[in-house]
Chain A
Amino acid sequence: MRFLLSKLNFLEATGEFVFLIWNVTVATFKRPPNWALIREQLYNIGVLSLPVVAMTGFSTGLVLAAQSFFQLSDKGLAGATGLMVGKAMITELGPVLTAFMVTGRVGAAMCAELGTMRVTEQVDALETMAVDPNRYLVAPRFISGMVMMPLLTVFSIFMGIFGGYLISVFYFKMPPTTYFDPMPIYITNFDLLIGIVKAFVFGVLIVTISCFKGLKTSGGAEGVGRSTTNSVVVCYTFILFTNFLITLGLNMLQNATGWFS
């Protein structure tokens, strides 16, 4: 019985979550939120995340190039190092690691902020003043997340390829052309599409999960801590699984139809 009840709670939460996404989408398109609010969130999610995303992308590129080189050189495949870095950054590591960093830096803060507003009745106060929290609080974050995640991901991919370039050329003494030449041949539009689609979906997931958990907070300061931890864990889980599903799904679709080449 207990087990069944917990399943019911899960279903209920899923339903509410989908309902939130729906409400926010409707609110966004019906009457777009104030530009000043969106600008603030664009700055917060995008610009302020640049350093941490750059660092992550760069170090991943470094280690990816080094490891690829060590693994491939004795098999005579050292020339594929650049390609390895490029493909891995574009299709998998760029989107996922950026999403992880944004979850930690932006998602957690978002959940804590909305959670605090909830437990101090500020969300209620908004509603008593006839302002829809979905439109005022969630929609600007939603739009900014959708816009900024793909941009941050592209930035992180560039940083990764740049990091790989530095170590390949200056440490392993690889000619720059060997590093770059295979990329335009083997990296396809489809790879880029996968990367961007993932970034977009992760952006939506991070913002909606964080806002949902924040607005559902109860139980004072302790509750805010709990829902913040919880939102980060849920975000990570969702990112990992959707990442797999998108890779699988898009590749199957591509193989079946050839739409994206």
Chain B
Amino acid sequence: MIDIHDLWKAFEGNEVLKGLTLTVKKGETLVILGRSGVGKSVLLKHIIGISHADKGYIEVDGVRVSDLRGEKRYKASLKMGMLFQGAALFDSMNIEDNTAFFLRQHGDIETGEKYSKSEIRDRVDEALRMVDLEGTQKKMPSDLSGGMRKRAGLARLIVYRPEYLLYDEPTTGLDPITAMQINELIVKTQEELKATSIVVTHDIVSSLFVGDRLALHKDGKIAYIDEPDAFLNIDDPIIEFLRKTISEDPRTFRRK
């Protein structure tokens, strides 16, 4: 369970998070919707510990991770993983080395033992098979398309089976069909790893497909949070717009 309490963060006087409070239940997929630039990605970076809040705290499984620094903080984030908007693959390594990176760096998290070469290869192959990227092991990230890169980024995550998965705009910048593939992968990953996921997006189709609960991030806070059906009935200009984009005849959006 992730418990975020009264989180504040300002960048050079510009307040992004203003007392954000949110609880993510174990095993659920929570989607955080919001307009660009409201600080959704910043929230994810706080949860995984890259950014540090000005005020407030974050607890993961009862441990107050926002107070930890240095080695302890890194240790706490071993069970979390994040998919970046641009996938953030290491462009000096091929896909196999990218995918194997965590396993080679940390070995078995529980015992601290190093994995054997064949073990790593098997797990990398399995992860790449899951995201439908078999045979790309020796390719460099620059050889892949945007959608493939995102899938490779996902493979780099699922290979170490984190308990908490954070997705930063997983479908942004992809064509609708590739976006749907990514959505299906998120659901599949969720089912196989039995993980807890937080998806940050502004893609309403994606959020309805993957989300158990939907939240609206607005003015530095979580304005509403509810199950998909109830969420769509909330009376708010942004939600009303989202509702329209999926329910109405698309021709109403044509320029007059």
Chain A interface (Cβ within 8 Å of chain B)?
117, 120-122, 124-125, 127-132
Contacts and interface: CB of A to CB of B under 8 A. Distances in A.
Interface stretch (B57-65, B76-84, B122-130, B224-232): B76-84
A120 B91 CA distance: 10
Contact of B75 (A121, A124, A127, A130): A130
Residue of A120, A122, A127, A128 with most chain B CB atoms under a 10 A cut-off: A128
B74 interface: yes
A127 B71 CA distance: 11
22 contacts: A120-B88, A121-B84, A121-B88, A122-B88, A124-B45, A124-B50, A124-B88, A125-B84, A125-B88, A125-B89, A127-B50, A128-B50, A128-B77, A128-B82, A129-B101, A129-B102, A129-B160, A130-B75, A130-B102, A130-B105, A130-B106, A131-B74
Contacts of B102: 129-130
B102 to A, nearest CB: 5
Contacts of A124: 45, 50, 84, 88
A255 B86 CA distance: 59
A217 B82 CA distance: 22
Residue of B49, B75, B85, B88 with most chain A CB atoms under a 10 A cut-off: B88
B48 interface: yes
A129 B105 contact: yes
A128 B48 contact: yes
Contacts of B160: 129
B81 A128 contact: yes
Interface residues of B, number: 24
Contacts of A127: 48-50, 74, 77
A123 B88 CA distance: 8
Contacts of B74: 127, 130-132
A3 to B, nearest CB: 19
B135 to A, nearest CB: 24
Given A120-B91, A122-B91, A124-B50, A130 B86 contact: no
Contacts of A129: 81, 101-102, 105, 160
A51 to B, nearest CB: 23
A128 B168 CA distance: 13
Contacts of A128: 48-50, 77, 80-82
A235 to B, nearest CB: 23
B141 to A, nearest CB: 10
Contacts of B49: 127-128
Given A130-B74, A130-B106, A132-B74, A125 B80 contact: no
A128 B49 CA distance: 8
A125 B78 contact: no
A125 to B, nearest CB: 4
Nearest to B74: A130
Interface in B217-256: none
A120 B86 contact: yes
Contacts of A122: 88-91
Contacts of B106: 130
A125 B90 contact: yes
Interface string B41-70: 000010011100000000000000000000
Contacts of B89: 122, 125
Contacts of A117: 90
B143 to A, nearest CB: 16
Nearest to A134: B70
Nearest to B79: A130
Nearest to B105: A131
Nearest to A113: B92
A129 B109 CA distance: 12
